[in-house]
């Protein structure tokens, strides 16, 4: 029995500028990050699984309008919301993922249902929504997901003809994709990630978040990883698996593997963003090559740290 747990969460990466943040907004974000990581810690402390801890931490951020997942999702170019999520168990290598789902309140819980209750790893659109209905998961009407700010972001992105990371551009208190990684007291790892994708993305666009090995990966031999940033770069680099492979095949430490992937490899494919990772010994790494990444971590039963900008 492992005596210690570790957990890290993120609320997205992007052009986060300290000068554009008010103390009120900062406080609101910090409070939500804190609630999210505490939800995970409470489960881990009580001997619960890394899977449950990461899913619970992500649910808190999905239920907040501040983050680009669940309630606070961004709009695609057709003016509606499509969500992606995935979760993976490091012990069994079981995984569940959904893409292009609409109106499901917590896509991460749908991914978790797939992990335990389906022979498939990835379901999309209507098939995923039908699975959610059968599993008795909560659905919400379109207006639950509507935030004026997101709508304005879409209009701006359309005018500028851009596809944007949620937290790029004006820094007004709405942030990005969310994720969590954890090591539990039984020595098992898990990773969970959830997103609304990118503002003004094409209808049907799939990012890295639901692609096992790109935006999310966990393996008890190595580490658990959750990514955030422009998904195309993470998919082309198979980033989350790459961190694990560098540890497994080259014997790199968690920090060495993460630094290499984020600062050497990703920029070569114009990849921007960051990741959170925890290894089987409870070490944590939270590297990013963007201006900032919303993050919190608690290593080896220690205190909670929260970060937003570069140190
Ligand atoms: N990685 C996500 C995507 O490309 C976006 C983000 O991390 O904010 O869909």
pLDDT in tens, 116-166: 999 999 999 999 999 999 999 999 999 999 877 777 878 888 787 777 666
Domain residue limits at 33:
6-301+304-308
Mean predicted lDDT score pLDDT of the chain: 92
In a domain, 136, yes or no: yes
CA atoms within 13 A of residue 172's CA, in its CB half-sphere: 7
CA of 33 to the centre of ligand 1 (A): 18
Stretch among 19-23, 50-54, 164-168, 297-301 having the lowest mean pLDDT: 164-168
Mean pLDDT of 193-197: 96
The preferred substitution site among 75, 157, 229 for testing ligand 1, maximizing ligand atoms within 8 Å of CB, is 229
Burial 221-239 (b: 16+ CB within 10 A, else e): ebbbbbbbbbbbbbbebbb
- Quick count: other Cβ atoms within 10 Å of Cβ 299? 18
CATH number at residue 129: 3.60.20.30
Bridge-based pairing of strands 122-124 and 95-101 is parallel
Q: Residue 26 pLDDT > 90, yes or no?
A: no
Which residues make Cβ contacts (< 8 Å) with residue 144, sequence separation at least 6? 71, 105
- Residues in contact with ligand 1 by the CB-under-6-Å rule are 12, 68, 165-166, 176-177, 195, 197-198, 207-209, 215, 228-231, 273
- What are the tens digits of pLDDT across the range 234-280? 999 999 999 999 999 999 999 999 999 999 999 999 899 999 999 99
In a domain, 178, yes or no: yes
In a domain, 10, yes or no: yes
Is 255 labeled as catalytic in the residue annotation?
A: no
The preferred substitution site among 12, 66, 216, 230 for testing ligand 1, maximizing ligand atoms within 8 Å of CB, is 230
CA of 257 to the centre of ligand 1 (A): 21
Atom of ligand 1 nearest to the CA of 205: 9
* Residue nearest atom 8 of ligand 1, based on CA coordinates: 177
**Catalytic entry in 54, 99, 177, 222:** 177
What pTM was computed for the model?
0.94
pLDDT value of residue 289: 94
CA atoms within 13 A of residue 246's CA, in its CB half-sphere: 21
Q: Residue 291 pLDDT > 90, yes or no?
A: no
Torsions phi, psi for 310 (to 5 deg): -70, 145
Domain count, the chain: 1
In a domain, 1, yes or no: no
pLDDT category of residue 170 using cuts at 50, 70 and 90: very low
For 212-233, the DSSP string reads BTTTEEE-TTSEEEEEEE-HHH
- Two structure tokens written together for 125: 């659109």
């Amino acid at each position: 029995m492992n005596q210690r747990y570790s957990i890290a969460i993120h609320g997205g990466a992007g052009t986060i500028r300290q000068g554009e943040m008010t103390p009120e907004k900062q406080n609101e974000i910090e409070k939500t990050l804190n609630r999210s990581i505490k939800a995970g810690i409470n489960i881990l402390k009580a001997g619960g699984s890394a899977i449950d801890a990461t899913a619970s931490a992500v649910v808190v951020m999905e239920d907040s309008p501040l983050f680009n997942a669940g309630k606070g999702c961004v709009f695609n170019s057709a003016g509606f919301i499509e969500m992606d999520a995935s979760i993976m168990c490091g012990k069994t290598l079981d995984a569940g993922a959904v893409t292009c789902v609409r109106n499901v309140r917590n896509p991460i819980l749908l991914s978790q249902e797939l992990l335990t209750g389906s022979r498939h790893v990835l379901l999309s659109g209507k098939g995923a929504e039908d699975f959610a209905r059968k599993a008795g998961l909560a659905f919400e009407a379109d207006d639950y997901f509507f935030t004026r700010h997101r709508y304005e972001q879409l209009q701006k992105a359309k005018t500028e003809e851009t596809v944007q990371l949620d937290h790029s551009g004006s820094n007004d208190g709405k942030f990005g994709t969310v994720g969590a990684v954890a090591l539990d007291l039984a020595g098992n790892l898990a990773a969970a990630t959830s997103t609304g994708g990118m503002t003004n993305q094409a209808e049907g666009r799939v990012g890295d978040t639901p692609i096992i090995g790109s935006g999310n990966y966990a393996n008890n031999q190595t580490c658990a990883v959750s990514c955030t940033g422009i998904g195309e770069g993470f998919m082309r680099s198979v980033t989350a698996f790459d961190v694990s492979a560098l540890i497994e095949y080259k014997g790199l430490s968690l920090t060495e593997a993460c630094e290499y992937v984020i600062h050497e490899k990703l920029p070569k494919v114009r990849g921007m963003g960051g990741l959170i990772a925890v290894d089987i010994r409870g070490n944590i790494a939270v590297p990013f090559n963007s201006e900032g990444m919303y993050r919190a971590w608690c290593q080896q039963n220690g205190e909670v740290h929260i970060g937003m900008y570069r140190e």
